[in-house]
């Protein structure tokens, strides 16, 4: 694949992100803040950053817009609003499950409007209000609610990650399911009916996205004793080999699709940016491993800066092109 195309793809990603950021600031943020006021819910600075920047950019720019390459079209207004609000709702739902002690059944009833607003805590009230705005976006794929329950079920059962005795393969399986099911949910929020082969691709992008997220979160996860694939790996090389194979799986799915060669190459090119970020982090952690030794799971007391990847470094911009090109050849 032509390496010189990747800088232009990166520029287009930048345009996507600016467009999405502007949309969130002008449309979504005022809507959510109004819901926060009604629910008497106070957003922390970190929480606001995640809801108004991190999640909307990841779900729309790095996932939904890539899936629409399968149809050779751009995202429409209702899809953008639906997926942006869906990402915010997913975050709040995870917090109800993980922090507020809600059960999966409680959450499903809430989203089906089977709970009275006045009986709910502030976070749950906020979710109900945003859900009302979500439903106003028009048609929602009939498979959405079933997929929503699958995604919530995986999240609700992921508490096993606090068990220090789980194996690398068990931790990796949880990660794959969390990411894959979450991204399938994004697919159901688009105005499309995807084939089983296309769903396999969407699932695999979620696998890679969640693995990348766990790699970047290694410092925080070690502090909280959360077990992920990278914290259970014996070496960074083991993690890299596993991740590389997952990239090969994604590319193989695309190459078997009944798409034109142009769209196949475009889909792979745009799908390599998330994996490339992971390879940049893994390269840094190889240096950490060489300097400090030990398994990644024993790095809890290392300096934070050793395990935080600064993607604003110019050197990492150069590595991004390098690893995007590498990922596209797998």
The tens digit of pLDDT for each residue in 301-323 reads 999 999 999 988 889 988 999 99
Q: If you search the block for the tokens 């942006």, which residue do you land on?
A: 84
Q: What is the average pLDDT across 25-43?
A: 94
* Residue 129 burial (C-beta neighbours within 10 Å; 0-12, 13-18, 19+): buried
Tokens of 290: 């060489």
pLDDT reading at 28 higher than 90: yes
Sign of the CA dihedral running 160, 164, 167, 168: positive
The predicted structure's pLDDT at residue 27: 96
Q: What is the average pLDDT across 268-275?
A: 96
Q: Do residues 201 and 252 touch, judged by C-beta distance below 8 A?
A: no
Tokens of 286: 């190889």
Tokens of 105: 């059944």
pLDDT reading at 204 higher than 90: yes
Three-state helix/strand/coil letters over 37-91:
HHHCCCCCHHHHHHHHHHHHHHHHHHHHHHHHHHHCCCCCHHHHHHHHHHHHHHH
The predicted structure's pLDDT at residue 110: 85
Residue 102 DSSP one-character state = -
The predicted structure's pLDDT at residue 140: 74
Q: How far apart are CA 68 and CA 79, in angstroms?
A: 11
The predicted structure's pLDDT at residue 286: 97
If residue 321 lies in a helix (H) or strand (E), which one and from where to where?
Answer: helix 314-329
Q: Which pLDDT band holds residue 327 (cuts at 50, 70, 90)?
A: very high
Q: What average pLDDT does the chain have?
A: 92
The predicted structure's pLDDT at residue 2: 65
Domains and CATH numbers, the chain: 5-329 (1.10.600)
The mean-pLDDT minimum among 2-6, 7-11, 82-86 falls in 2-6
The predicted structure's pLDDT at residue 21: 96
The predicted structure's pLDDT at residue 3: 66
Tokens of 281: 């982090």
pLDDT: which is higher, 238 or 159: 238
Render pLDDT for 176-197 as a digit per residue (tens, 0 to 9): 999 999 999 999 999 999 999 9
Q: Which pLDDT band holds residue 10 (cuts at 50, 70, 90)?
A: confident
Q: Which pLDDT band holds residue 126 (cuts at 50, 70, 90)?
A: very high
Q: Which pLDDT band holds residue 144 (cuts at 50, 70, 90)?
A: confident
- Residue 141: phi and psi, rounded to 5, are -50, 140
Q: Which pLDDT band holds residue 149 (cuts at 50, 70, 90)?
A: confident
The predicted structure's pLDDT at residue 116: 75
Contacts 24+ apart (CB under 8 A), 10-19: 10/273, 10/320, 10/321, 13/61, 13/62, 13/270, 13/273, 16/60, 16/61, 16/65, 17/57, 17/61
Q: Which pLDDT band holds residue 169 (cuts at 50, 70, 90)?
A: very high
If you count them, how many residues does the chain have? 330
pLDDT: which is higher, 108 or 66: 66
Q: What is the average pLDDT across 81-86?
A: 94
Render pLDDT for 234-268 as a digit per residue (tens, 0 to 9): 999 999 999 999 999 999 999 999 999 999 999 99
Q: What is the average pLDDT across 199-211?
A: 98
Q: What is the average pLDDT across 40-49?
A: 90
| Percent of the chain residues past pLDDT 70, beyond the cut | 98
Q: How far apart are CA 218 and CA 282, in angstroms?
A: 11
């Amino acid at each position: 694949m032509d390496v010189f195309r990747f800088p232009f793809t990166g520029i287009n990603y930048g345009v996507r992100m600016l467009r999405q950021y502007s949309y969130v600031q002008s449309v979504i943020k005022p809507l959510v803040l109004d819901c926060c006021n009604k629910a008497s819910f106070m957003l922390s600075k970190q929480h606001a950053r995640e809801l108004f920047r991190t999640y909307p950019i990841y779900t729309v720019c790095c996932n939904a817009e890539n899936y629409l390459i399968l149809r050779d079209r751009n995202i429409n207004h209702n899809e953008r609003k639906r997926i942006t609000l869906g990402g915010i709702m997913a975050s709040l739902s995870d917090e109800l499950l993980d922090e507020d002690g809600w059960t999966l059944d409680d959450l499903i009833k809430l989203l089906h409007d089977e709970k009275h607003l006045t009986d709910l805590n502030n976070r749950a009230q906020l979710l109900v209000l945003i859900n009302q705005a979500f439903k106003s976006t028009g048609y929602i794929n009939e498979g959405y609610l079933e997929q929503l329950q699958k995604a919530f079920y995986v999240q609700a059962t992921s508490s096993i990650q606090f068990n220090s005795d789980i194996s690398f393969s068990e931790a990796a399986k949880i990660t794959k399911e969390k990411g894959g099911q979450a991204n399938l949910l994004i697919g159901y929020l688009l105005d499309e009916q995807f084939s089983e082969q296309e769903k396999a691709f969407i699932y695999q992008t979620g696998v890679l996205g969640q693995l990348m997220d766990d790699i970047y979160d290694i410092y925080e996860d070690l502090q909280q004793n959360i077990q992920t694939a990278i914290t259970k790996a014996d070496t960074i090389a083991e993690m890299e080999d596993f991740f590389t194979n997952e990239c090969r799986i994604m590319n193989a799915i695309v190459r078997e699709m009944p798409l034109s060669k142009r769209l196949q190459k475009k889909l792979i090119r745009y799908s390599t940016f998330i994996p490339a970020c992971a390879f940049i982090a893994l390269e840094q952690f190889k240096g950490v491993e060489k300097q400090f030794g030990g398994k990644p799971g024993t790095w809890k007391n290392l300096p934070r800066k050793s395990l935080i990847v600064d993607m604003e470094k110019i050197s990492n911009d150069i590595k991004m092109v390098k690893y995007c090109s590498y990922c596209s050849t797998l």
